[in-house]
Amino acid sequence: MRAEFKEDCKYADEIHEDTRDLFYKWLKRYGLDVPEMDEDLAAKLILTEMRKALDELELKHCGGSCDTEPPSCPN
């Protein structure tokens, strides 16, 4: 298995956790700034901005499509 795939297996859970934490950080910030906020709408807005940022990174680093699927990780 390629070293990059081993690293992906090693850090995949951490990347997912960090992504969730970042989302909830921003959701909390919206709530602090707008106490009467509609949490569902705020979540949609935040996710839309996160997707835009990921799309920009994908364009920069993958030429527009990062469809690399690593092999199954050992348990």
Question: Tens digit of pLDDT per residue, the chain (75 long)?
Answer: 788 888 888 999 999 999 999 999 999 998 877 778 899 999 999 999 999 999 999 999 999 888 887 778 876
Q: What is the largest CA-CA distance in the chain?
A: 51
53 lies in a domain?
A: yes
Asked if 52 contacts 63 with a C-beta cutoff of 8 angstroms, the reply is no
27 lies in a domain?
A: yes
28 lies in a domain?
A: yes
Token output for 51: 């997707």
72 lies in a domain?
A: no
Domain count, the chain: 1
- Measured distance CA(30)–CA(36) in Å, rounded: 10
Quote the domain boundaries for residue 40: 16-61
Give the contacts of 43 (CB within 8 A, at least 6 positions apart): 23, 27
pLDDT reported for residue 31: 85
pLDDT reported for residue 34: 79
Angle among Cα 7, 13, 16 to the nearest 5 degrees reads 110
